């Protein structure tokens, strides 16, 4: 934030509070320059509180799946709440089909059970991430897997309106369709710090030397996880 708002190399900070205070002073001194900060995909207020600043012509946009995150912002911030609706059925089925069937397809193919596909799509509750991940996890799977996923989604209804809980309950089914060995390999991602980019060769080494997979099987599994949007593959810049 210092590099983008103030510019240049930031000074040494004693702690987070010191960094916050010094950046706030810089924002106060830049009264004529409008500043827009977007804090995307904040899951809880503890991730947000140190990133809030006040200033003339300084605006912060926060996106979150839990409205309690916004409600926890202190009242002295001039705030507005703009709830976004879930995808309408037409757009939801189009997004779902793009990932559940041949890429680029926006409608249910005649070769599939129309009613079953619609039932699974409806259980995603119009959440784009759920539509994408669950659709990818069902790509190429037989009807029995679709039916099991539909039933699991129906049983996983969250007890409240917290969109994070609704989303996580639905994403859980994309893990349940994996074999036991694949689940163990997926859990290996959790040994790395949150937000860290994991070198592919390090992950492959774990699967080959710890999980005793053959090298070509490890590469295929990595590609499978990427195709199902359980991880993102990125090339070195």
| Residue 159 pLDDT exceeds 50 | no
- Distance (Å, rounded) from C-alpha 192 to C-alpha 128? 26
The percentage of the chain sitting over the pLDDT mark of 70, rounded to a whole number, equals: 94
Chain-centroid distance of CA 97 in Å reads 19
- Distance (Å, rounded) from C-alpha 206 to C-alpha 145? 29
Domain range list for the chain = 2-71, 89-176, 180-227
Residues facing 58 on adjacent strands: 35
SS3 38: strand
* Residue that wins the pLDDT comparison between 102 and 222: 222
Burial class (CB in 10 A: 0-12, 13-18, 19+), 235: exposed
DSSP assignment of 51-66 equals G----TTEEEEE--S-
Contact 134, 120 (CB under 8 A): yes
Determine the pLDDT at residue 94.
94
Contact 80, 119 (CB under 8 A): no
Q: What is the pLDDT of residues 1-18, one digit of tens each?
A: 999 888 888 899 999 999
- Mean pLDDT for 203-224 is 93
Q: 201: which 2 tokens?
A: 């060769």
- Distance (Å, rounded) from C-alpha 113 to C-alpha 108? 8
- Distance (Å, rounded) from C-alpha 118 to C-alpha 93? 8
- Mean pLDDT for 202-211 is 94
Label residue 169 by pLDDT band (50, 70, 90): confident
| Residue 163 pLDDT exceeds 80 | no
- Mean pLDDT for 203-216 is 94
- Mean pLDDT for 160-189 is 79
What class, spelled out in words, does domain 89-176 have in CATH? mainly alpha
Q: What is the pLDDT of residues 23-67, one digit of tens each?
A: 999 999 887 789 999 999 888 888 888 999 998 889 999 998 888
């Amino acid at each position: 934030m210092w590099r983008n708002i103030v510019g240049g190399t930031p000074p040494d900070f004693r702690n987070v509070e010191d960094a916050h205070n010094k950046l706030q002073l810089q924002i106060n001194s830049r009264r004529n320059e409008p500043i827009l900060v977007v804090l995307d995909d904040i899951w809880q207020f503890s991730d947000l509180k140190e990133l809030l600043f006040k200033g003339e012509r300084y605006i912060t946009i926060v996106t979150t799946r839990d409205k309690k995150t916004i409600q926890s912002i202190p009242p002295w911030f001039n705030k507005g709440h703009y709830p976004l609706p879930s995808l309408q059925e037409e757009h939801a089925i189009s997004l779902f089909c793009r990932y559940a069937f041949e890429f680029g397809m926006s409608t249910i193919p005649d070769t599939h059970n129309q009613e079953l596909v619609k039932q699974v799509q409806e259980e995603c509750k119009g959440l784009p991430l759920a539509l994408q991940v669950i659709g990818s996890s069902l790509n190429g799977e037989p009807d029995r897997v679709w039916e099991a996923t539909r039933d699991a989604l129906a049983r996983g209804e969250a007890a409240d309106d917290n969109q994070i809980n609704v989303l996580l309950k639905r994403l859980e089914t994309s893990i349940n369709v994996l074999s036991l060995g694949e689940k163990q390999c997926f859990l290996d991602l959790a040994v790395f710090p949150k937000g860290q980019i994991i070198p592919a060769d390090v992950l492959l080494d774990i699967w080959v030397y710890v999980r005793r997979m053959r090298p070509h099987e490890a590469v295929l599994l990595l590609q499978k996880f990427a195709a199902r949007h359980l991880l993102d593959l990125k090339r070195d810049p």
